[in-house]
Every structure is written in C-alpha cells, then in structure tokens.
Amino acid sequence: MPLDQAGPSATLTPVISVPSALDLDNCSAALPAPHPPIIQVEQLGKQVSSPEGPLVILADIGFAIARGECVAVIGASGSGKSTLLGLLAGLDTPSTGRVWLAGVDLNSLDEDGRALLRAQRVGFVFQSFQLLNGLTALENVMLPLELAGQSDARRQALELLERVGLKARARHYPTQLSGGEQQRVAIARAFAGNPDVLFADEPTGNLDHKTGQRIIDLLFALNREQGTTLVLVTHDPELAAYCDRVLELDEGRLRARSAAGARA
Amino acid sequence: MNPAAAIRRTDPAARDWRRVLRMSLRALRRDIQAGELRVLALALLIAVASVAAVGLFTDRIQLAMERKASELLGADLVIAAPNPLQPVLSDAARQQGLQTAETLSFRSVVLAGEETQLAEVKAVGPGYPLRGGLRISAAPFAPDRLADAIPEPGTVWLDERLLQVLRIEVGAAVEVGARQLRVAAVLADEPDRGGDLFSIAPRLLMNLADIPSTALVQPGSRVDYRLLLAGTPAALDTFRSWAMPRLATGERVQGVREARAELRVALERAQRFLHLAALVSVILAGVGVAIAARRFAGRHWDSVAILRCMGATEALIVRLFTLELLLLATLAGVAGLLLGYVAQHGLSALLGTLVSSTQLPPPSWQPLLPALATGFITLLGFGLPPLLRLREVPPLRVLRRDLGPVNPRLLALYGPAVLATVALLVWQAGEWRLALYVCAGVAGTVLVLTVAAWGLVKSLSLLRGRVGVAWRFGLANIARRGPGSAVQVVALGLGLMALLLLTVVRTDLLTSWRDKLPADAPNHFLINIQPDERAGVQAFLHGHGLEGAELFPMVRGRLTMINARTVGPDDYENPRAKRLIEREFNLSWAERPQEDNRILAGRWWTVAEHGQGVASVEEGLAKELGIALGDTLHFQVAGQTVSARVLSLRKVEWDSFRANFFVLFPPGVLENYPATWITSFHLPAGQKALLAELVRQYPAVTVLDVEALMGKVREIMDRVIAAVEYVFLFTLAAGLVVLYAAIQATQDERCFESAVLRTLGARRAVVRQSLLAEFATLGLLAGLLAAAAATLTGYGLAVQVFDFPYHGSPWIWLLGGGAGLLGVGLAGLLGVRPALAQSPWRALRER
C-alpha cells in the first residue's frame, strides 16, 4: 500500500512545510533528485559532556538523501556512525543543526511526535536483531503494523513472512530460530507498513559470511521491490559497495563524497 | 497547528482502546507464561485474601450482633442498679401502661451432694421475659421448647453445664444458700443471657419469691437488680423522660441501643486489631509488589525501547502497562477473594462461638469490594511507579544498551507507596492516631533495619582478604551492590522477622506469662464474709491448713468529689472511666502495703497518721479518673461523706490473684461503716470438698473459683491469639513473598555474571560456591537483624503491653541466623540453578 494514500500521511502533508529551495552548497552530499529529499541534514552536531570536558561525537554534518536512494554510512568504530543513525531516525536529539525526515523538521517534534513519525515512515534492522523474545515471529512482524493502526496486521505480517521464506515458522519464538532466521524476521518487521526509510545498523554484524550474504540479498531485493530509501550503517566496505552512495565518517566528520557504487 | 500536535492527533494505537486491550492481553499472557508476574500476582493474592478473610468474618459478627440486639435485653428498656430499685419506678411504669418484670442476679455457690459450683443465679418475677422467650428441655441436649412461664416457687432451671458439673439430673435437689430447691427443667436458652464472651459461670434460674428463704441477699452483697419494661415506643419515651430525673444514684437506664455496649466496643476493638493485622500483610505484600514490579520493569526496558523505536508513544506505553497491571490485579484479586472466602471459615470456627452460641449468619458480599480495592490500591501505589518509568526508556537504547530511564526522584518512586499505605491504614484503623502509630512503627522498623543492614554490608569488606576466591567474589558482590544489598537484607529481614515473631517470640511471651504465676498462687476468693463470720471463717481456713489467708475488710463507697469538683459519669469520655465512677468502690484499710504493691509517688502513712483522712490510690485508677497526689477525695459511704487526701500512688500487680484495692485508707477511718471481708487462698487440687463444707457453714459467703475463671480467660485469650495468629499466617506468606522477590530481584544480574565467570574459565562448582557465599551471607545478616528486631518487639510487647519481664530466648538468634543462612542460601541457589545449567554462551546472548 503506497503510504501517500494512507490516512496518517494524508494529514501530515498539508501542515508540514518542506524546505522548498534546497541550498545545495550546504548539502555536502546532495544529488540531483526528481523529488524533494526524504532525508535532509544541515550542520548537524552532537556533543556530550565527559569528565574531560565536552566530547564532540559529530560535527558539521550536512547531506541530503533522495527518495528511493540507497546510502551507506561507513567509518571505523567510534567514528560516530551509530550516533548519526540515531539522529537521522529521531531516536536521539542533536546538539546543533537540523534533520528533516520525510519533510518534517525533527527538532519541531517532541519525543512522542518523533515516535509517531517513526511508526508511520521508518523501519529498522539491527545488528542484534532486537526481536521481542516473548512474541512469536508473526507477532513481532505484526507489532509495527499495529502501532501504525493498520487493521489487517495479521494478513500483512503473514505475507511478509512468506516473502522472507519463514511463513512455516510464524508461530516460533525468536529463541527457536537461528541467527539468520531471526534477522529475516527482523527484515520482515522492518518492511511491515511500507516505510519510506529503512535504517539498517550493521545488519550482518552478528552473522556468518554466507548467511550475511543472503540477508543482504533479501534486504536489497525488498528495498527494490518497495522503493524504500535505505540508510545502511556498516564498517564493511564490501557491503557499502552495494549502495548508490557512500558517506564516510571520520572522527565525527564527513570525510569524502564517494561516487555511486556498483549495486548488486 | 504545530507539527507535533498534528502528528499526535494521528496516534492511532493509543486512541484505539480495543487495540490497546488486545496488546495488553497478549503481553499479560506472554508475561504469565514466562513467569514474570508470579511474584506480583502472589503478593496481590495474599493482600486481597487477608483483607477479604477479615472483612467477611467481621461482617458476619456484625450481622449476628444486629440480629440479636433486640432480644439482648429481654425487654425494650431496663433499669438496673446494684441496690434494690425504688418501688415508685415500677408503679409508675405500670400506671403509664408499660409491662414490667423484675429480676435479680448474683453469683453464688450451688451445692448438690458433695459437688459445688459457682453459678450465675438469676431470680425472675412473673412476666419475665418481656421480649424473646425462655427455652427449656426435659433433659440435657434433648429437644427444647418455649417455656410458657417462669420456674414455679421451690423449683429451679439449670443450664446443661451446671447439671453436668454438679453430676445431677432433672428432678434432683440443689442447695442455693440456705434453701433446698428442686431442678424442674434444663434451661436451654434465655434472651438476656450475658454475652458468652464474659459469662464465666453457668446459669441457675429461680423464682424471685424464693430469694428471701435462701438468705443469700444481704446488705453489701453484690447483686444486680433489674426492672424490665416493655411497651409502645411512645409510652417508653414518656416513661424514660419521666424517670430520668428521678433515678437514685446507681440506677441507670439501658435501652436496646446501650445494651451490650461493652461487648460491642470490645468486639469493635478486636475487629480493628484484626483489620490492622491484615494490613500488615498488605503492606508487606506491597513491599513484595514494589520489588517485583521493579524487576518486571527492568526486564522490559529492551522491549519498550524497541516499541518506542517502532513508534510507540509514551502514552501508549503507559496505557499498555497500566492495563496489563489492572488485568493482573483483577485476576489475582478474584483469586484472592476466593481464598479469603475460604479462609474466613477458619476464623469463624476459631472465634465465632465466643460471640454467638448458634452459627454465625452467612457473610454479605459487601466486604469483598474493599478487599478488591485494597488489591488495586496496593498495586497502583507500590507497583505502578516503577512501571511508569518505562515510558522514560529512550528509544536510542536499541543502539546503546547502557541507556535506561533517568534516575527517578525518590519521592516519585516511593511517594505513591507511602500515600497508599497511609490511606489504607487510615481507612482500616478508622482513626488517624492509631494509623499514625502503625505508620511510625513500620517506618521506624524499616529505617533501623536499613541503617543496620547498610552497616553490616559495609563491614563485610573487612572479611574479604581472609577468604578464598569464591567467597571473595561473593562478598565483593554484596559490597558492590551496597544499597541494593542493604535493601535485600531489609526485605529478607522483614520476612524472617514475621516468621520469628510467630514462632519463638510468641512462645516466649506465653511462657513468661505462665511463669509469672507461682504454682501456689491463690486460686479461690471468699467474698461477702460478714463481720460476725470473720473469726469463724479464719479459723476454718487455718484449721484446714490453708495458711496465709489474710482477711481484708471491704467497705463500699462511691466517689462523689475530687477536691471541690463534683464528679459523675458525664465528666469522662473514656467508657472505663465512666464505669469506674458509676460503680461503688471497694475501700479497704491496711497498716502496711502488701508485697505486690509498690509506691510510685508520695509515701505510705506513719503510725501517727492512723485515723487521719489520707488514702493511697492505685495509679491506673488515678490516671483514668484524673486524680493527682495531694488531691482530696470525697466518698459517699453508707450515706456519710468520708474525705481523704491522696498520700501515695501505688502500682498493683493485679494478676498476682491476691485481694487488692483501688483505694486504701489507714486503720481507724472506715472501721465504723458496714463492711464485709474478703480473702484469697490456694486450695490444693482434690480438696474441693472443703468448699462445700465451708459454704454449708457460711451460706452467705461467696466462693469465687478463679481457677475456672483463669481457665476461661486463658481459653478466650488462646482463641483470640489463635485468630490473630491465623491472620498473621497471611503476614507470614507475604513475608515469604518478599523473601522470594528480594532473591529474584538480582537473579538476572547474577545469572549474567556467573556466565561471564564461566566463560572466563571458572568451574561450575566455583560459581555455585560464590553464589552460595553471597546468598548465605545476605541470609545470615538478614536473619540476625530479624532476630534482633523480633527480640526488641517481644521485649516491647512484654514490658509495655503485658507488663511482665521478658527473657528472650537465645534460640531466636540461632533460628533467625540459621533460617536466613540456609533458607536464603538454598533458595538463592535454586533460583540461579537454571542459569548454571544453561550454556554460558546462551546466558550471555540472551542478555
């Protein structure tokens, strides 16, 4: 179901003003795009206090990501990748700068507002899967659909499980599934409700190479099918090469613009 | 409209209650299956069951009281007095169209052959009873019928107990004073029988016309004269307002409302006490709920973070968990009500017969609601605050596991619990002061325990250098979790304390109480000894080797003034004070204070003060009536005023069972007033025949067999104690839940740590040993603290409440320490056993 026709987004569109004239000079990684960018970042910074004084984790980050684009964020451990992901998804608030997600300035929302925006627009895939152990595979996939208020959550969830090849294991609990299977359930959950943006944080980090490869294939295949924007955080250059574009973080700053990689 | 508001309006999940309910139900099912809610549910079950049991039981008592109230008097209105009533009263009543009947009752020994028994003798005139009816039967335990008259002159009706004790049957003769009377029937029931709670002696019912021939009613005898009245409410009101100003001293009017006020007050107090005892379980259960809810919340941080990450709002999180909690409270509450309903049968079996000889009426449904409400209040007050913190779990936790809810303000976390506790206490105690005392007691105990536990936990570090690796790790764990360990020790200590109080301290108290009475303590009193019988009675006792039986004079007088102030029942609020001032005092005189009397203030009189207007007053009476050292008391004795200045205040050991007096005079003051004499002595077992002989020689002398009385008192005490103990079983159960919750609280952490240890190469035995070291030490500390607290409580009860020296048993330390060491050690090990059995990899991965 295209999200533009869904009830919730219909109420969003008229009240939210998208920055109409994008200042491309300020968007260090902006590409010419047919639509307004789905993610827009301006002078984003994050610092925390530490015993040795303020610690800068991210500084002066700016870029835009177009709808349907696939972008990898790479960098060494501690370079600020996960912090950036948290800020992009509205899980955390920046110290400076702004993030527009699906045209909405995240700074203008409180935590609940951001939660609702996530419910309607965003999906996640995590390194550690983050499935709820007490729920079956099916119930895990149903969860975001229910949170978004969809009425046929069960049917949609079953379809998604079928798509990731786990329909037969719908009633199994996460602990009864292998790592690869758990991540497939997580992917099904991430795509439930047709999110505009999918954030993936080291999705293969906990898997062996072969299983990881399968997961990546599945992720990109679904991404193509649904036209989702994918933001992939990884330290693996091989994985990053699957994406249209790579943003590299080095000690909290964007280092270079990378040309579009070869998409698998 | 700002974007946030616009988006919030579209929060579909939080607004759709059916969906929230469905999600909550699913969460509830899942958490029940995973055993997450076991402790919470158990704690609630106990809280609701204890309140329901006590509530249902007291409700049955109240219903029984109400049902009986109209028949309690055997009349609509009664005028009672310790002296013969003015004849004008009954004449006027009859003139005003009221029915009348007269009764007179006293205690006397009844003889049948060699057997003697103290009986409550009631002599009744024609017309009795005016309300309700007498039921008699032809033989003990035979079917009874309504009697159509009172006993014929020359005959008596005895209750079954009296017939049995005297070993006679219907048709036999009994001696009542100087008169022989024939037993004509068994008295099965009478409407105005005194409350079962306080009637010690069995009943003999006789005709008023036979009284003069018994020669039992003499001047100074303790006799209760009553005029029973019945009629229309209007006529009764007219009579009442006519009679009130004309009543002589000692005469008092009793309506149905005033009837059994004493018993009602006593019962209400007992009920309140039971309610408070139930509340102790509720508060303890609340502590269990708080600990369990904290753990429950902690285990849900991850799932809440994921939910938040997927877009669940704070409102939705709050609704989800509140609803889950309410669903749980409903389930556990209903189960608690059922358990309480079953349990109240036990209480009724223990206490019901004290109140009513017939079966108690079934309870109403009314008490179930407050019981259920107690469950909800406990859950909301103690359980909700930790759960509400779940909404503060940041969604970023999905990326950074170190993030949790911000540290809460103590007030936010414990304020509702304190509020809930105070609300429950005030509600149940029915008065602020009592509630405040209990609150202060609980708070004080917890505070002292916490400080002591903290000190003990800190001092453990001294030991660490001297033990092996496993023990070092265990002890280090306790110290590392400092505040948490202290809380655990307190919680464990509270549970163990409940256990110790119920076992060791109770037995110690009872033993101390029994030890206090020597084997040769007086077990019989002789009262109503006339002056001319004095020498004879004394000779009789000495002649039969009953040494030490000193005779004390007794002059009856009413306290009318303190200094220049006239005093009467209306001057006092306290019912006991009202009663004391209304009654005639037994005044006596003595040269020296008795052994069991101690001067608290002032001094005893000198020989020079014999014959002077001075007196010594018992301190309890002085306090009750507001009498101070140096006050001048004015007594009305046989129509004359006797005045005396209070020279000393005495403490009297009443339960020494010797004759004692509230007010003592020096010799030479009261000798010229009409007096009877009293003595007490120890009658060895098997010499009861002496009493029969004594009573035959001196029929007016009343023998009080206090052994029977003590037996009855002890039986009542035992039953009340049994009932309280029964209610405390809930406390014990709640204590065990707290124990379990406290052990479980840190189980996850310990499972994880043992997995780390094993990953690092520790053998399972070493890990087990370190855990055992930790739990056993916690248990030992808790046990010792519990023993100390229980000993102090026992001491306080003995000295402050029961007024006897308390010798705590050393066993309490052994039992407390041992139970803590073994119980907590083993329970803790059992708790982490699954983790030890599991592969460390899995334990680490599941974290």
Chain B interface disruption, residue of A91, A106, A183, A187, most B CBs within 10 A: A91
pLDDT for the residue B102? 93
Q: CA of A30 to nearest chain B CA: how many angstroms apart? A: 26
Q: Which helix (H) or strand (E) holds B161?
A: helix B160-166
Query: What 3-state class would DSSP assign to A61?
Result: strand
Q: Between chains, do B311 and A126 touch, taking CB under 8 Å as contact?
A: no
Model confidence over B601-659: pLDDT tens digits? 899 999 999 989 999 999 888 988 889 999 999 998 888 899 999 999 998 876 666 77
Model confidence over A216-237: pLDDT tens digits? 998 899 888 888 999 999 888 8
Model confidence at B286: pLDDT above 90 = no
Q: Between chains, do A134 and B311 touch, taking CB under 8 Å as contact?
A: no
DSSP state of B116: E
Most confident of B243-257, B323-337, B704-718, B768-782: B323-337
B324 touches chain A (CB under 8 A): no
Model confidence at B443: pLDDT above 80 = no
Q: CA of B315 to nearest chain A CA: how many angstroms apart? A: 8
Domain boundaries, chain A: 3-257
Q: CA of B300 to nearest chain A CA: how many angstroms apart? A: 10
pLDDT for the residue B99? 92
Nearest by CB to A115, which of B16, B312, B400?
B312
Question: Closest by alpha carbon to B315, among B2, B64, B9?
Answer: B9
Model confidence over A155-196: pLDDT tens digits? 999 999 998 899 999 999 888 899 889 999 999 999 988 899
**pLDDT grade, residue B4 (50/70/90)?**
low
The set of residues, in sequence order, having a beta carbon less than 8 Å from that of B114 and lying 6+ positions away, is B689, B692
DSSP state of B110: E
B402 touches chain A (CB under 8 A): no
Q: Is B761 left (phi over 0), alpha (psi -120 to 50) or beta?
A: left
**pLDDT grade, residue B182 (50/70/90)?**
very high
Model confidence over B545-585: pLDDT tens digits? 876 667 889 898 889 999 988 888 788 877 678 777 877 78
A residues 113-132 lying closer than 8 A (beta carbon) to B: 113, 115-120, 122, 124, 126, 130, 132
In chain B, residues with a C-beta closer than 8 Å to the C-beta of A91 are 309, 394-396, 398-399
**pLDDT grade, residue B171 (50/70/90)?**
very high
pLDDT for the residue B812? 84
pLDDT for the residue A28? 39
pLDDT for the residue B753? 73
pLDDT for the residue B195? 42
ipTM of the complex: 0.70
Record the tokens describing residue B327, joined without a space. 């669903």
Determine which of B301-310, B348-357, B638-647 has the lowest per-residue pLDDT on average: B348-357
Q: CA of A238 to nearest chain B CA: how many angstroms apart? A: 23
**pLDDT grade, residue B38 (50/70/90)?**
confident
Percent of chain B scoring above 90 in pLDDT: 13
- B4 vs B732: which has the higher pLDDT: B732
A107 touches chain B (CB under 8 A): no
B residues 785-844 lying closer than 8 A (beta carbon) to A: none
CATH superfamily of the A3-257 domain: P-loop containing nucleotide triphosphate hydrolases (3.40.50.300)
Segment B131-144 shows an average pLDDT of: 81
In chain A, residues with a C-beta closer than 8 Å to the C-beta of B23 are 146
Segment B415-434 shows an average pLDDT of: 74
B542 touches chain A (CB under 8 A): no
pLDDT for the residue B204? 93
Question: Closest by alpha carbon to B536, among B707, B704, B706, B693?
Answer: B693
Q: CA of B817 to nearest chain A CA: how many angstroms apart? A: 40
What is the DSSP secondary-structure string of B539-568? HHHHHTT-TT---EEEEEEEEEEETTEE--
Q: CA of B749 to nearest chain A CA: how many angstroms apart? A: 18
B10 touches chain A (CB under 8 A): yes
Phi and psi, residue B101, nearest 5°: -155, 150
Q: Between chains, do B399 and A134 touch, taking CB under 8 Å as contact?
A: no
Model confidence over B669-699: pLDDT tens digits? 888 888 888 888 888 877 777 877 887 788 7
Do strands B179-189 and B135-137 pair parallel, antiparallel, or not at all (unpaired)? antiparallel
Contact status, residue B90 vs residue B208, Cβ threshold 8 Å: no
Nearest CA in chain A to B7: A113
Question: Closest by alpha carbon to B795, among B512, B449, B516, B517?
Answer: B512
Model confidence at B359: pLDDT above 80 = no
Record the tokens describing residue B618, joined without a space. 């018992």
Chain B interface disruption, residue of A77, A83, A93, A112, most B CBs within 10 A: A112
Computed over every residue of chain B, the mean pLDDT equals 80
Q: Between chains, do A139 and B26 touch, taking CB under 8 Å as contact?
A: yes
Contact status, residue B53 vs residue B343, Cβ threshold 8 Å: yes
The set of residues, in sequence order, having a beta carbon less than 8 Å from that of B149 and lying 6+ positions away, is none
Segment B347-360 shows an average pLDDT of: 67
The span from the CA of B116 to the CA of B201, in Å, is: 12
Q: Where are the beta strands (DSSP E) in B85-217?
A: 99-112, 115-124, 135-137, 145-146, 155-159, 173-176, 179-189, 203-207
In chain A, residues with a C-beta closer than 8 Å to the C-beta of B314 are 111-112, 115
Instruction: Please give the torsion angle defined by the CA atoms of residues A52, A53, A54 and A57, in that order, rounded to the nearest 10 degrees.
Output: -10
Nearest by CB to A115, which of B31, B33, B311?
B311
Model confidence at B271: pLDDT above 90 = no
Query: What 3-state class would DSSP assign to A36?
Result: coil
B763 touches chain A (CB under 8 A): no
Q: Between chains, do B10 and A8 touch, taking CB under 8 Å as contact?
A: yes
In chain B, residues with a C-beta closer than 8 Å to the C-beta of A8 are 10, 12
In chain B, residues with a C-beta closer than 8 Å to the C-beta of A139 are 26
Q: Between chains, do A111 and B31 touch, taking CB under 8 Å as contact?
A: no
Nearest CA in chain A to B29: A134
**pLDDT grade, residue B199 (50/70/90)?**
very low
- B728 vs B333: which has the higher pLDDT: B333
Segment B509-523 shows an average pLDDT of: 69
Q: Between chains, do A91 and B23 touch, taking CB under 8 Å as contact?
A: no
Buried b / exposed e along B493-530 (16+ C-beta atoms within 10 A): bbbbbbbbbbbbbbebbeebbeeeeeeebbbbbbbbbb
The span from the CA of A91 to the CA of A103, in Å, is: 17
Residue A123 pairs with which residues in a beta bridge?
Answer: A198
pLDDT for the residue B801? 59
Give, in order, the Cα–Cα distances in Å from B838 to each of B89, B302, B758.
90, 22, 11
Q: CA of A178 to nearest chain B CA: how many angstroms apart? A: 12
Chain A interface disruption, residue of B10, B37, B316, B393, most A CBs within 10 A: B10
In chain B, residues with a C-beta closer than 8 Å to the C-beta of A77 are none
Segment B84-112 shows an average pLDDT of: 90
Question: Closest by alpha carbon to B648, among B592, B599, B613?
Answer: B599
**pLDDT grade, residue B210 (50/70/90)?**
very high
Alpha helices, DSSP H only, in B460-559? 469-480, 482-500, 506-516, 534-543
- B429 vs B230: which has the higher pLDDT: B230
Model confidence at B473: pLDDT above 80 = no
A85 touches chain B (CB under 8 A): yes
Segment B242-265 shows an average pLDDT of: 72
In chain A, residues with a C-beta closer than 8 Å to the C-beta of B302 are 130
Residues of chain A with pLDDT under 70: 1-35, 256-264
Model confidence at B209: pLDDT above 80 = yes
Q: CA of B3 to nearest chain A CA: how many angstroms apart? A: 7
Sign of the four-CA dihedral B81, B216, B263, B517: positive
A residues 210-249 lying closer than 8 A (beta carbon) to B: none
